[in-house]
Every structure is written in structure tokens, then in C-alpha cells.
Structure 1
Amino acid sequence: MTPNPSESSLEEFHLQVKRPVVSEKPEKIVIVYQNVLIYTAYHIFAIYGLYLTFTSVKWPTIVLGVILWTLSILGTTMGSHRLWSHRAYKATLPLQIFLMICTSIACQLTSYNWVRDHRMHHKYSDTNADPHNAKRGFFFSHFGWLLIKKHSEMKRLGETIYMDDVHSNPVLMFQKKYAIPLMGSLCFVVPVLIPMYFWNETFVNAWNFNILRFILGVHSICSINSFAHLFGSRPYDESIMPVENMGVSLVTLGEGFHNYHHSFPWDYKAGELGNHWLNFSTASIDFFAKIGWAYDLKTASGAVVEARIKRTGDGSYKQKNRIDCGNFKEKNIGL
């Protein structure tokens, strides 16, 4: 039985458990041709959807697409990432159900699979046990990892990942059990039927534009694995690959502060700056905290952040710019 980590920090628990040695031996790439065909088809539909966007798609369809893209990204950042992977805050049942619906709209694996892979990514970051190991190049870390079989080190070390909290979460297990009807309907059926029924959008327009929305969501999140591990500064820890990339924050609603996030993964803000226009995910958590749906928000104290900058930063940190993120209770953690 896997020991139960403390409520304060899942990452602190991982540090207490000796990490197995990861083999860096390269393996033969085995292409999953089914995935290649499926994603190729998605991209063809998306490209045609982009053309239709400028020629015949109605404005209400575009507005709906923007709303669904935003919900899908928030489901991933607020739910699969900060809430369920890192337990950086707690959420009431209504908020958890809402976020589960949002992750179903995104259709980027179930949250169960997302949490497992992301915990692998943090525990074995940029090694062969990392699902999207950035050391294997930009294309692999961005999208290629979805098209080939997993490295044997991922399979071997997968059992070392703590998942008891996920197994005991009825919302996540419900999504896992009914993944196909939930994600199939919320990502691919309902977004097509709504514009067709309510404002007489054509099927061709509704389908292809929705696939464009879906693919843009996939690439937005994938940019964290690629751009935010390869192009940017390391003001908090120069010894790790993750970087600060403001462009990634724009397309992910706040996930581009990646050097900070890997330095302080328990921080619900996933960035030092907190609630501001580049971190809409944090602003959304703050909103739900104010109405009582999110609570026990964890954050790294200013003193701890400053000490880390001085100890391991690359010298690019220019100015202390910490923003008060609300009047609700936060848990300052100093590790």
C-alpha cells in the first residue's frame, strides 16, 4: 500500500520517497499509426475550419467556440492541473463537477489519465519516464509523444505514482467510467448541434469550426510541454529545463510561468504574479474562493520565493512584483 502523503504538499511527499533511477538508454520509436491517422484527420478538419471561419461561419458560432475553448482550458488548468494533480487548493463538489465537465469539453484524456501523466512529468521531469520529455526535442515534447508508444521507463515507473486520492474521488472516477459518452458528447456532438439548432449554422461549418476549437485547445496545452521547457528565462531555478514564457501564458490562461511552477508546484497560482490579466486561471480560482467553492489555497511565501531566487536563479529576475490575490485564507508554505 502506498503511504498517504500529507495534506500540505504532494511534492513534499515525493521528496521523502527515494526516486528510482531512470534509465537514459534510448529506445526504438514505435509509431501508433491509429493516432497518427486520427490527429491528421483532426488537423485537416481544423485547417478547413480556419478557412470557413473567414468565409462563412456565423458570429454566434465563433463566440460559442471562444467560450468553449476558454472553458476547456480552465478545466485543464484549474482542474486537472492545479486541483487534482497538485492539490494546490480544495474545491467543493459543485466546482469539481463543473471542472470535470470543462475537461470533458477539452477531451484531452480523462482527468484520471491527465493527473497520472502529470505527476509522472513532475516526479521524473525531462527523463525517459516523463511522458513528454523535453530532452527528446521540440516536436516530441509538443505533439510527438501523442503519436508513439510510451517509453518502457514510463511503464516500469508508473506504479510509483501516488493515485489513491484520485481513486477515491467519485467525480474523477465517474468521468473515467463514462469517458466515451461524456467526452464524445460534450466535445464533439453538443458544440455542433447547438449552432445548427439555435441559429441555423450548417453542419459543415459547425463541425469543422468545432474541430478547430478542439485542436487549438490541444496545441495550447501542449505548448507548456514544449515552448515552456525550451524558450525563456529561469529566474527561480536555472538547474531545471522549465522556463518563464509569457506567450505560453497568453494561450493557456496563465500556465507559462513554468520555471516558477516547477520550483513551487504546490502554489495554486502556478506563478508568482497571481491574479492579473496574464493568469486568468488564478483569477478564476480567486473568484470561486470568494463565493466559497474553492478553499485552502496554498501558496509559497514571499520569503521562500526570494530565497530561492537568490540561491538557484539565473540572475534574470528584475523586480519583486507580488500581487495580493484576495482577502480569503491562503496557506503559505515554506519548503
Structure 2
Amino acid sequence: MSKPFDRRKFLKVSGMSLGVGALISVAPAMAGGGPSATLRRWFRRQNGEELTPFNLVQLSDAHVGFQGPPNPTGTKAFERAIDVVNGLDPQPDLILFTGDLTHEAEAPGEHAKRMQLFQTLTSRLKSKKVMYVPGEHDAALDNGVLYRQFFGETHYAFDHRGVHFIALDNVSSGKPAVGTEQIEWLKRDLARYPRTAPIIVFTHRPLFDLRPDWEWFTRDGDDVLNALAPYENVTILYGHIHRHDVHQTEHAMHYASRSLIFAFPDPMTAGDKKPVPFDKEKPFRNLGLQSLAEKKGRLDVDDVELTLREFGGTDGVQQILKSGESL
């Protein structure tokens, strides 16, 4: 029986990280069959795939439809991120989008238009395998009804190149919670896999108490982490906090991606949750994405901040803001 997870006893690893690795297979393959060899044989039997190198990208918090002083450039950072991803060589196997694809609108027709615009923008991606989970701005007002019409189920699981991926929904109930039904589904899903299986969970809110007074937590996150606790190689990707951050809880590494609209301050030092002021000289400052690569049983996670290339200074900002202008 696993030890229950205490959300108050987590280790903050780093607030900024380049190339931080989360081990997904500790032992090398050995002649005669060591732990890694056994793991690879098991996945080959289970789904026809062994653990092989792959790349993936995490995007988060585009908030398509948002308008306000923290970022007057609208979707331009999102478009810039698409260009960055399209420039990667090799192209990512998967793109995981961890919520707040859109900014909510009380009128369903307006919110649907924002979701349509989001889909139009993502259609520019060269890599077509894009997986989504909702954020509260996508799904909280109507319990995910409109989101499902555009993007499908809010929680699901799949295997890719020997790694088990789990999409969790901790927003569409209208509360910061996963819910009993989904947690029971998670337990059934995990029961099919050995404790050495490499697992990547992607969700919107942090599953631990990062800053509860800022709504940076999941009410029943302990139950999710307890379900995952027996598994040795767990990586959790999330968004919501609009900044890169790294934490460790038990066997799990938690990585938050930067947003694509505006940044929030460091929760460990800031008193108030106020967006970082817009910088006219560097309008994409603090915005970005995460690039992940599986290499010989190790998952390397890189924090990537967007750059302007030729767009810089006041003139560059005006060029970005031109109607119809794309980066």
C-alpha cells in the first residue's frame, strides 16, 4: 500500500530550468533482461510499440479572444509559438495543449467563434497530432459542453512509443477538482500498467497546493497523486500559472509551461496575483513553451522563451499590431 501523499511536503526544484530531466527509465537494458528490457518487452506486447526516442511540445494558455492591457497583441504570441514549433527539426511527434485555449465569453456564439479561431490557428502547425485538455476559461461556464463539441472528451488516455499518456480534466465541473468519477477511471486505467511504466500526465491546474489563495491548486489533487504514487516514472505537465516552474512530489516531476498571452509573478515572492506589466520593448517577454525529448530513457524538458527576431522596440510592436499582420 502506498503512503498517502501530503501536499504540504513537496520539494520545489527550480523556478527556471533548461534541460532539466525527469527519469522515465532508471536502469539500462541488460543482457538477459534487466528492468528496462522488461519494460520495453511489456509495452511491445501491450500496444505494439517499444520505448523509442521521441520529441513533443507543450503549449498552454493562449486565451484566444482575450483583450486587455496585460497583452494588447492578442494572438500574436500564439502565432509566434506556432512558427517556432514549425521550425523545429525534427518535428515533434506530439503537441500537448494544457488548457485555456480560449478566453471565456458568456455568449455561446462568441465563445464558439473563439474556438473556431483557435482551430484555424492550430491548423497552421505542421505536426498534426495535437492533444488537448481544457482550462477553466474553456469549460467552466458550461461544464465543458461547447469544448467537447470542438475538441472531444476532456479526459482520456493513450500510448505513444512506449509511454502512457493521461489527459486529466480538473476544470470543467466549475470547481478546481478532478472528481470522484474521473479518479476511479484513472485508477482503472493505471491498473493495466506495471509500476515501472513511463507515464506522462497532462492537465491544466497544478495537482498540488502551489498557491491556493491564487486558485493555483486542485482540490482533490492528493487523490490523483496517491493513485500515481506507486508508479516510479511519472511526469506531470500543466499550465494555468502562466510561468515556467518545476516541482517534485514523491516519484513525480511537475513542469508548468509559460503562457502565450501574459505572465504572472513568482508565487513564492509576490504578494498579489497581478499580471506582469506589458513590455513594449519586448512584447513576448516571459511568454513561451516547453520542448520535451525522450533520449535513451531520459525525458529532457526545455523551457523556451519566445523571441521577436526582427520585431523589436516600439516600431516592432506597431508592426505586430497591424491588422492581419502575422509573425
Same fold (TM > 0.5): no
Of structures 1 and 2, the one scoring higher in RCO (CA 8 A, sep 6+) is: 2
TM-score w.r.t. structure 2 length? 0.30
TM-score w.r.t. structure 1 length? 0.30
More strand by share: 2
